[in-house]
Chain A
Amino acid sequence: MNKLKLWLEQTMMISFAILVGILIEGLVYAFTGDPLSSFSMSWLQLLSIVITGAVCSIPTLFWLTDDLPRNKFILRIIIHCIGLYAVVALLGFVFKWFEHLDGFIFMTVIYFLVYIFVWLVTLWFHKRDDNRINKALDDIRDDE
Chain B
Amino acid sequence: MQVVIEKVNSKDEEQAVIKAVEITDEISGAVELLEGDSKGFAVSRDGKTYIIKASAVYYIESVDKKSFVYTKQGCYDCKYRLYELEVMLGGYFMRCSKSMIINLKKVRNVKSQISGRIDATLLNDEVVVISRGYVKEVKRRLGI
Contact = CB atoms under 8 A, between A and B. Distances in A.
Contacts of A133: 110, 118, 138-139, 142, 144
A140 interface: yes
A144 B55 CA distance: 11
B129 A144 contact: no
B115 interface: yes
B62 interface: no
B115 A137 contact: no
B104 A65 contact: no
Contact of A136 (B106, B116, B132, B142): B142
A74 B105 CA distance: 32
B116 A134 contact: no
B139 A67 contact: no
Given A136-B142, A142-B106, A142-B123, A67 B72 contact: no
A115 interface: no
Nearest to A144: B123
A55 B144 CA distance: 32
A73 B144 CA distance: 27
Contacts of B39: none
Given A136-B142, A137-B142, A140-B104, A67 B114 contact: no
A67 B143 CA distance: 25
Contacts of A101: none
Interface string B90-111: 0010000000000011111111
Contacts, number: 64
B49 interface: no
A66 B132 CA distance: 8
Contact of B115 (A2, A67, A134, A144): A67
Nearest to A137: B107
A142 B142 CA distance: 15
A142 B110 contact: no
B109 A134 contact: yes
Contacts of B111: 130
Contacts of A142: 55, 105-106, 123
Given A67-B132, A127-B112, 13 more contacts: A66-B115, A67-B129, A70-B113, A73-B113, A74-B114, A77-B114, A129-B139, A130-B112, A132-B139, A132-B144, A134-B109, A137-B109, A142-B123
Interface of A: 2, 64-68, 70, 73-74, 77, 123, 126-127, 129-130, 132-134, 136-137, 140-142, 144
